[in-house]
Amino acid sequence: MSKTEKAIAFAEGYHDLVRRDVFHLVPVSRGVLLDVGGGIGATSAALKADGKCGRAIVVDLVDQDSLPGVDARFSGDLNDQALIDQIHDTEGLVDTILCLDVLEHLVDPWGVLGRLTQLLAPGGAIIISLPNARNALLVKRLVFQGTFKLDDRGIMDRTHLRWFARADAIALATSSGLELEKIEGKIAGRRRKVLNALTFGIFRGFFDLQYLIRVRKV
């Protein structure tokens, strides 16, 4: 096992940072992948090791060390056009951008996505994951408990600034002129999956924990 593979295994086993649930949405490319809010770069390094990209870049608000498989790192505020210009001047256009559980934490996710689109090469793809604001947990608290009580983590994370149901998630993802290629709802837990099957998917919007989206620049 290589040094990079050992580091990825550590990150996946200890920090649970590798988002393997999105791997099937990431196009195979020997080009450049930009992981937005990627932390130490566990997901991007794993994608590179799997042959999904030839160069892995991380941009994050926090300046910290990255895994060995990460080729470059940028730190700063995504609302700052100077950061986008710095990435472009250093790396040029990128082929794939990951925005995994990032946009809901931003004051202006539409503006940030627009700036990130400037970095995307023609034919390139952006992979987005967003929590579902129509999930049964939110509905239960609002309708039956009369509260919008937030949690320290999860779908009701108190650091979430923006909330998206399915239609809103699609509108955000395509707001910069990108073309929707795929959207998948992610159901967590065996019980919810069984209930969804028994109800023939009619209430799927209440069971989906988050949405995984791929949009492309055409």
Residue-wise pLDDT for 10-25, tens only, equals: 444 434 489 999 999 9
pLDDT for residue 194: 67
Average pLDDT, stretch 124-129?
98
Tell me if residue 62 falls in helix, strand or coil: coil
In this predicted structure, what is the pLDDT of residue 116?
97
pTM confidence score: 0.86
- Mean pLDDT to the nearest integer, 140-154: 89
Buried b (16+ CB within 10 A) or exposed e, 168-196: bbbebbeebebeeeebbbebeeeebeeeb
User: Each residue of 175-210: pLDDT tens digit?
Assistant: 999 999 999 998 766 666 666 566 656 667 788 999
Q: Which residue has the tokens 């290589």?
A: 2
3-132+162-216 placed in CATH 3.40.50.11260: no
Separation in Å, CA 39 to CA 61, 124, 185: 9, 22, 24
pLDDT digits (tens, 9 = 90+) for 40-96: 999 999 999 999 999 999 999 988 888 999 999 999 999 899 999 999 999 999 999
Q: Where are the domains of the chain?
A: 3-132+162-216
Task: Please give the share of the chain, as a percent, with pLDDT higher than 70.
Answer: 85
- pLDDT at position 84 is 94
